[in-house]
Structures are given as C-alpha cells and as structure tokens.
Chain A
Amino acid sequence: MRAIGLSSYYVLVKEIASELRTRYALNALLMFVVTTLSVIVFSLGSEHVPYEIYCGTLWVIIFFSAMSGLSRTFVTEEERGTTLLLQLITSSNSVLLGKLFYNVILNFAITLITAIAYLILFNDFVVRTYSIFWLTLLLGSVGLASASTILAAIVAKANSKGTLFPVLAFPVLVPILLTAIKATILSVEGGMFNEAFPDFQVLISFTIVIIAVSFLLFDFVWKD
C-alpha cells in the first residue's frame, strides 16, 4: 500500500512538472474558459435571464473544459510512446492513482477559476448559501475528474481520440452534472445546507463507486 502511495506520488509530481514545463493543458484550458465565458457575456448583453440559466451554463463550461483537458494525461503518453516506459517501471495502480490526483487537481483549479469569473462577471448571479456552492464545486469536479480519468485511459487506446472522449463521457457524467446543477441552483436560491445533503450523498457515492470500478478495470485497459 505504501509502495503504491509513494510511486503514485512520483507519477503526480512528474505530471505537474511536465505540465509546468510545457504549459499545454493549462494554457489551452484557460483560453477555453475565457472564450466560452465571453461568448456567454456577448450573447446575454444587458439581458436579465433566470438564475437557473447561469447555473446551467456554469456547469456546461466546466463539463466541456473537462472534456478538452482531462484526456491529455493518457493521450500524450500514448502519442509520445512513453506508455511503455511507465508500464515498465511501476504498477498500473500507481499510474492510475497518480493520474487521478493530477486530473482532480487540474479540474478543480479550472472549476474554481470559472466559478470566480462567474461571480465577478454576472451581477445577476448571486450565491446566497456559499457553503453549498463551494462544496458542490469541489464534489462535482472531483466526480467529473475521476470518471474522466478511466474513460481517458480507454480513449487513449482507440483511434480518433479527440472526438471520442466527449461521446463516451457524456452519458456516464449525466448523473453528476444534473445533481451538481441542482445543488448550485439551491445555493443561489439560498437553501439550507442540509437541504443539499442528498445531492452531496449522490456526488460522493458516485465518485466512490467510479473510483472503485476504475481500479478493477484499469489493469485491463492499461496493458495491451
């Protein structure tokens, strides 16, 4: 157990160091968030729209940025032929765990940036219960990232990776997206913290189940 922890930590460190050096995913994702946000700003103009729309579009941006960024961890390994190196130096579980943590960190960072931009840009988007809002963002993005990680591992082994990823991921992620949107609406409406409790339960149990299944399946997916 300790061995897996340690080697997955080095996989995570390698991912972060590689990202900081190439700045590929981070820059692309930030630009993605900026462009989609400005499209929404331009199309709304000075229009007043129901707050549900804001909650929905917030998660649309988070979903699509996850779709464009989270498959990279596995796809780049496959494209550059470094998969074989990782297979040769460590167990598949540590690879999965390391990459899972990396995707969670990346996705949560993007989610936070998007949410803060939302709060600043849209005056009509007023969150009344911040505890629900932040916790939803955290749990939602962790859930998105964990389901995306195992799907990215599958996609990396197939052809036409770029278009395939959202197609595979959407039906799997629907329960998370719908629950997260619902909890976000609740936070805007000023619901009590315990009203959002069932939603958090769904998000947490979904994440746990997906991660457990990922560990069961990853060995089949990772090795040829």
Chain B
Amino acid sequence: MSAALEFRGINHHFGHRVGRSGAMREVLHEINLAITAGERHTLIGPNGAGKSTLFNIACGALRPNAGRVILNGTDITGLAPFEISRRGLARSQQVTSLFAHLSVRDNLRCAVLGADRRRYAFWRPLEGLTAVRARAEAMAEAVGLAAELDRNAGELPYAAQRALEIGVALAGDAKVVLIDEPTAGMNQDESRAMVALIRRLTEGRTLLLVEHDMDVVFGLADRVSVLAGGALIATGTPDEIRANTQVRDVYPTAEDANA
C-alpha cells in the first residue's frame, strides 16, 4: 500500500536559544513516518513531545529546518497552507477555531468554498451558490447539527462545537485528515459520540489523530506512533504499542488502556 502522507527526516527547532549554553531546544528530531492510505493512525506522547509541531509542519503553518513532507507522492514542503489544503489535506485545530460570530451554515459554507474551484468571483451572491449550500447542509446533517444551521457557532454547546469543527475540516472533502485532540475536555458519553462520528466521517479517508485518551486511541487506531522528547520512539499496532517496554517508560498510561 502506498503512503498518503509521509514525513522524511523532519528536524525542527524554534529559533530562540535556551539557557546560557546557547543550545537550541530541539522540538523534532529526525522524524520518519509514513501514514498508509486509508489507515487511521494515532500519534501519542507526553505534552511537549512535538505532536502539534509535527501537525503544523504537515499543514504548512511551520516550515521544518530540515526534511520533506510528501502528500500522495508530491513534495509539499514549503508550500503555503492554502496550497496544501487544496491538495487534499485538512486539519482541525486543538483549540476551538470556529468562526464564532458566523452561523453553522456559514462556517461550513466557508469550508466548502475553500475547496471549490471557482474561487473569489466576489460578485457572486452567496445564496445563488445552491451546490455550496447543499454541501454545507449535508455536512451539518452528518455531524448532527441539521437543526442548528442558523445558529451562531459560538452559541453551540462545547461538544457540538467540536463536532462542527470536524465537519468544517471535512466539508472540503479532503482525503487526508489531521485531527488534534478531538475529545479534550469531554465527558465519557460525549467522547464516545465523538469517536463514533470520527469513525463514520473518516471512512475511506486517511486519518492522523493526536489524542490523549487511551480508550479513544486504541479504539480508533489501526496503528499508533509514540513521540517523546521530539523523537519517534515506536510505531505499531495498538497491541504492539501496549507491549512495548520502551513506550511504557515514557508513557506509562499506554499500558493501562483496556481496549
């Protein structure tokens, strides 16, 4: 099987010096990881391990100091975020990043328009674009928000906002999807509903997920990668990761999970 998303020799450090020694604090060190097309891959690791940095590099928000990012066989390193998005990579953010003052429909419409070929014919009235509207409403239905289309995103309950974020990320029909901590701050029921939603909506796509909740990780992932101290220390099936002693040393909760 071919890789949908591949990191090759990624090195990254932020440009400020730490301490008197003047040593650069390395955030990512020699990351080599290939996400197979169609798989659900989860990235775990302690806080500060570099997970979000790797996401930022994948979607173009950060440019790595060294290494390449390959999307469906094409080198996307150094492209602008919108160019990467147009090549079929979507990302949902860790912090709430909805357009709070826009309606649910308009949040989704904005996402659909981003993946639309006919961009920026600014004189086109929005309401005239019936196909865009229909796609936005279909996605609202898919994330369980069909009844809330006209409500401002900022007024939705927290769990509904996170669901809408998933919808916004996927409304452009990207084939590779990065989702950052979708169940953070949720209770068990909400978390379970979110996992079901993600599983349903990422059917037939490639998913790279950052998650802390081990039930979620082992319930959803085909493969798991462990990032610690900026380095990739293990990649394997959930069972292999659970049995890996090196992983237990840096990430003790991994063995507690009962999948």
> A and B: partners?
no
Chain B residues near A (Cβ < 8 Å): none
Chain A residues near B (Cβ < 8 Å): none
